[in-house]
Structure formats: structure tokens, C-alpha cells
């Protein structure tokens, strides 16, 4: 794999440069088969098309709709990547895959993806929180870009074609779809979290970690804030086992959502699953004020005749402050003068560590993923190739890699499939030719 992303044009790679041994046994068939026309499968096809290998590729997609998840992603806008260009910082957004992705992100990361999309004429915009979207605000823009690059480069895409069996023969693989038997020397399984793709991986000898939901909202037992649904504030949230997550917290009809909750759901996806999504959690409603600072703030209010709820002006939404006082059996309309020091201190410590009982979860509609999939110690991360079966590659969500929300899950799909494309190109084209072409740019 060359160190720099190559955006070389197809014409740079004449078919005569293909290694004859890889090609000879495959007359009448396509030597490269990609299973799944999702984000990862289509991006690998597009990069291979850019590298001049499009006519060697067959993409098999089980549904009638390629890139269906890309279309619905980001609420129909597709949060395609994130404005995070440092590989180490980028890795910190991945609860699973953090260590393994460092090398790959040094070679192809968000910056390279942005460059690639812009090289295809796609206008992008970065929102305040760092999420990157197409300026059109339409995920169709990204789907069109992937599909056009692949098909114009000669890639064949067969819809309604589900791969059901995979068997390694001497040099080639035999694939059985719902329509036909096919042979190929190079296979990319980019089937997302779909069980049929995981079955193919198991058939080829891979260990799988069971699929478990990540990125979800919390239901809370006896939830007292239903009437406050829609309020968002900065808070910290944690369970008994891990560090707190900080960020915007959204009150919903059933419990909590928003970035702080989604991050916690991703980092503790396995633990939440093990408890059946029933576990104690705590919220610090005022994470920017220390306990001592809050105690002093409340005790100082005793010198004023104003109602106690005004103590929280500027630091908590008024309706939430009122609800929290009600739950603490403090009359929000009375003056702090009438509260004992002890009661105010108890209130302060409760506001810093308010207990809840999680009691179930809801899917976050804007973005969700599953963790689990192919065990990462079975993958060579220079090529995203199986260590068990040569020329069998994996990219995207099928790997036991997932990220917090923000465009990072797609970035895993882009980075892994870019590496697969480079590795396959390396096998088909001699290294020197690939490097020479990328140096010419
Ligand atoms: C509602 C929603 C919104 C999201 N929004 C975002 C977002 O804005 N930003 C972000 O970074 N991430 C987002 N994600 C996550 C992101 O969509 C996934 O991480 C990404 O799509 C994974 O890409 P993939 O190619 O690995 O899998 P997929 O996109 O799931 O593609 C897999 C493809 O393989 C096909 N397939 C499966 N099995 C077979 C088989 N046996 N034979 C043939 N074909 C097969 C499937 O039909 C599918 O088309 C969102 C997810 C959801 C559900």
C-alpha cells in the first residue's frame, strides 16, 4: 500500500499491467467481487475504478437499493465525516478499533475523504460541532458521487443478488448467490452488520463478536421530567463502572438523549447490554461548578428575599430548576432564607450527583450502529485483509469497530475500504507503477 492516497485516473493503469497469474484462471468472470453496495463497498469500488480496475469488479447487493443507509443517514443529510484531521484525536472517538485504526488513519483520514469528495466536485460544509455534510443537505449527493464514480469507471453492480455461501478453492473463491455461482480471486465483504455477511465470515473461519447495539437513548424508570421533553443543557452523566461523559443532554419523553448520552451508550455498549439495559446512572446537572462552589452559591442566596428558583438563573433552565426543587421538597417560590443550611447542602450534593435508574433504550434516529463483528486480531490492518484467508478483505461495520456519533462511523467505512482498494490494486498492478503514478500527481 502506498503511503499517500492515490486519486489516479483510470487511464493511468492500462489493463496490460495486470499480473497475469491473478487474471488467468478467471476468464469470463470478474476477479474482484465486493459483497454489499453500502458505504464501504461502493467506496472501495469507486477507488478501484479511479485506479483503473473498474472493469474487473462486480458488486453484489442483496437489496434493490444500493447505499440505503447512506440515504437515510444524518436525518437524510449524511454526516459524511468529521472535521478532525489528527489521527490520534480521531482514534479517540472509537470505543472499538481505537488502537487498530491509528496506522490506517495516518494513511487515509477525514482530510483525505474531504479532498476526495471535493475532487469529485462535491461541495461540503462543516457545522460548528465539527460534523461535515454535503452543502446540498442531501445524502443523495454522496450516493450519486459513489455510484457515478464506480459505474463510469466500469464497475458492474448487480442488485437483488445475495451472497449465501463462500468457499475458498485453490486460488479462487467460490461464491453462491441466490442466482448463480461465481469465482473470484479477491473478495471484499462489506455487508455491514447484516447477519448473512457475518455468516460468510464465520464460514471462512473467522471469530465473531456478537452484535450489540450502540448509540442509543436511555429510558428512565419513573421518569419525573416528561413534561420537560425538549430541554437541552450541558451535563455530565456516568454509571458505576466508567468515567463520566460530558456534553449536551436532551430531556425526552422517556428519559435522556443527546451527545453526552450517546457517547456513554457507545463507550459502555457491552456493559449496558449485559445488564439488559437496566442499570443505575447519575447526572451532574451543573458540571461547571464544584460542589463547594455550589454550596456557597446557595448559602449566599439566604441573604436575599428573592424566591429560591432565581438562584439558578443563568445556570439551569427555569422549568428544570423548578422540577428539581419540587423533587427535593423545596418550595421553589419561597425564599432561600427559609431553608436550613443542611437542606441547601443536601440539595447541592444531589444536584451534583442525581440518581436515576435506566430501564431500557430507544434507537437514536439520526445515527445508530452495532458493535461486534469480525474479531480485530484476525485482520491485517495494512490491507484490511483476513489473516486466515488470503485475498479476503473486510471493510466497514462488519468489523468490530464503531464510533460515537459525528461522521466517524462513515469514516471507518471510507478508511477501511480505501485500504482494501489499495491492497487489491497492489496485487493487480506492480507496486512501482502505482507509486510512480501517485508521485506524478
Ligand atoms: C439511521 C442511520 C443513520 C446514520 N447516520 C450516520 C451518519 O450521519 N454518519 C455516520 O458516520 N454514520 C451514520 N450511520 C452509520 C453508518 O450508516 C454505517 O456505519 C455505515 O453505513 C456502515 O457502512 P457499511 O458499508 O459497512 O454497511 P452498510 O451501509 O450497512 O452496507 C452493507 C450493504 O451490504 C448489503 N448486504 C448485506 N449482506 C449481503 C449479502 N449477503 N449479499 C449481498 N449484499 C449484502 C446490505 O444490503 C447493504 O446494502 C447511520 C446509521 C443509521 C442506521
Ligand 1 lined by 39 (C-beta under 6 Å)? yes
Q: Strand, helix or coil at 174?
A: strand
Q: Whose CA is nearest to atom 19 of ligand 1?
A: 409
pLDDT of 311-360, one tens digit each?
Answer: 999 899 999 999 999 999 999 998 888 889 999 999 999 999 999 999 99
Give the distance (Å) from ligand 1 centre to CA of residue 241.
Answer: 30
pLDDT of 14-32, one tens digit each?
Answer: 333 223 333 334 444 799 9
Q: Whose CA is nearest to atom 2 of ligand 1?
A: 367
Ligand 1 lined by 78 (C-beta under 6 Å)? yes
The rounded distance, in Å, linking the Cα atoms of 291 and 282 is 15
- Judge whether 401 and 96 are in contact, CB under 8 Å: yes
Which numbered atom of ligand 1 lies nearest the CA of 81? 11
- Judge whether 215 and 406 are in contact, CB under 8 Å: no
Q: How far apart are the first and last CA of the chain?
A: 17
Alpha-carbon separation of residue 261 from 49, 73, 172, 371 (angstroms): 40, 19, 46, 17
Ligand 1 lined by 406 (C-beta under 6 Å)? no
pLDDT of 185-217, one tens digit each?
Answer: 999 999 999 999 999 999 999 999 999 999 999
Phi, then psi, of 57 in degrees rounded to 5: -115, 135
Work out whether strand 232-239 and strand 245-251 pair parallel, antiparallel, or are unpaired: antiparallel
pLDDT at 338: 86
Ligand 1 lined by 62 (C-beta under 6 Å)? yes
Ligand 1 lined by 315 (C-beta under 6 Å)? no
Which numbered atom of ligand 1 lies nearest the CA of 41? 25
Contacts of 340 (CB under 8 A, 6+ apart): none
Give the distance (Å) from ligand 1 centre to CA of residue 202.
Answer: 20
Name the one residue in this structure whose C-alpha cell is 478508511.
Answer: 415
- φ/ψ region of 429 (left if φ > 0, alpha if ψ in -120 to 50, else beta) reads beta
Give the chain's residues under pLDDT 50.
Answer: 1-28, 431-441
The shares of helix, strand and coil residues in the chain, as percent rounded to the nearest 5, are 40, 25, 35
Count of residues for the chain?
441
Give the distance (Å) from ligand 1 centre to CA of residue 39.
Answer: 6
Q: Among candidates 431, 13, 19, 63, which has minimal Cα distance to 186?
A: 19
Amino acid at each position: 500500500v502506498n503511503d499517500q492516497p492515490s486519486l489516479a485516473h483510470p487511464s493511468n493503469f492500462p489493463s496490460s499491467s495486470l499480473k497475469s497469474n491473478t487474471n488467468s484462471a478467471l476468464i469470463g468472470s470478474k476477479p474482484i467481487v465486493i459483497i454489499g453496495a453500502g458505504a464501504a463497498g461502493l467506496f472501495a469500488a469507486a477507488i478501484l475504478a479511479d485506479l483503473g480496475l473498474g472493469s474487473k469488479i462486480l458488486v453484489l447487493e442483496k437489496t434493490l437499493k444500493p447505499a440505503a443507509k447512506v440515504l437515510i443517514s444524518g436525518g437524510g443529510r449524511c454526516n459524511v465525516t468529521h472535521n478532525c484531521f489528527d489521527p490520534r484525536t480521531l482514534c479517540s472517538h472509537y470505543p472499538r478499533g481505537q488502537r487498530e485504526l491509528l496506522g490506517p488513519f495516518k494513511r487515509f483520514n477525514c482530510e483525505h475523504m474531504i479532498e476526495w469528495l471535493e475532487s469529485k466536485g462535491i461541495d461540503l460544509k462543516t457545522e460548528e460541532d465539527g460534523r461535515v455534510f454535503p452543502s446540498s443537505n442531501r445524502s443523495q449527493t454522496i450516493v450519486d458521487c459513489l455510484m457515478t464514480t464506480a459505474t463510469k469507471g466500469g464497475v458492474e453492480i448487480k442488485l437483488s443478488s445475495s451472497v449465501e455461501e463462500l468457499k475458498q478453492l485453490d486460488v479462487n473463491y467460490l461464491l453462491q448467490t441466490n442466482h448463480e455461482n461465481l469465482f473470484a480471486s479477491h473478495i471484499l465483504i462489506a455487508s455491514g452488520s447484516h447477519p448473512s455477511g457475518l455468516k460468510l465470515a464465520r464460514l471462512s473461519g473467522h471469530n465473531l463478536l456478537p452484535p450489540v447495539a450502540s448509540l442509543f437513548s436511555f429510558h428512565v424508570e419513573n421518569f419525573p421530567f416528561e413534561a420537560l421533553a425538549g430541554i437541552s443543557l450541558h451535563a455530565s452523566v456516568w454509571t458505576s463502572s466508567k468515567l463520566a461523559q460530558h456534553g449536551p443532554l436532551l430531556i425526552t419523553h422517556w428519559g435522556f438523549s443527546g451527545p453526552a448520552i450517546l457517547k456513554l451508550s457507545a463507550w459502555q455498549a457491552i456493559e449496558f447490554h449485559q445488564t439488559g439495559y437496566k442499570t443505575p446512572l447519575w447526572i451532574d446537572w451543573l458540571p461547571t461548578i464544584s460542589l463547594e462552589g455550589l454550596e456557597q452559591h446557595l448559602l449566599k442566596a439566604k441573604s436575599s428575599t428573592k424566591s429560591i428558583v432565581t438562584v439558578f438563573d443563568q445556570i439551569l433552565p427555569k422549568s428544570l430548576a423548578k422540577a428539581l426543587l419540587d423533587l427535593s421538597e423545596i418550595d421553589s417560590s419561597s425564599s432561600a432564607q427559609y431553608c436550613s443550611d443542611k437542606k441547601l447542602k443536601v440539595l447541592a450534593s444531589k444536584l451534583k450527583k442525581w440518581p436515576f435508574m435506566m430501564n431500557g433504550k430507544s434507537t437514536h434516529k439520526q445515527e445508530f450502529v452495532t458493535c461486534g463483528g469480525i474479531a480485530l486480531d484476525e485482520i491485517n490492518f495494512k490491507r484490511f485483509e483476513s489473516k486466515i484467508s488470503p485475498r479476503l478483505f473486510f471493510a466497514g461495520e462488519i468489523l468490530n469497530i464503531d464510533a460515537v456519533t459525528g461522521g466517524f462511523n462513515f469514516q471507518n467505512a471510507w478508511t477501511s475500504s480505501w485500504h482494501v482498494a489499495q491492497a487489491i490494486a497492489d496485487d493487480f498492478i506492480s507496486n512501482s507503477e502505482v507509486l510512480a503514478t501517485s508521485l506524478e500527481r
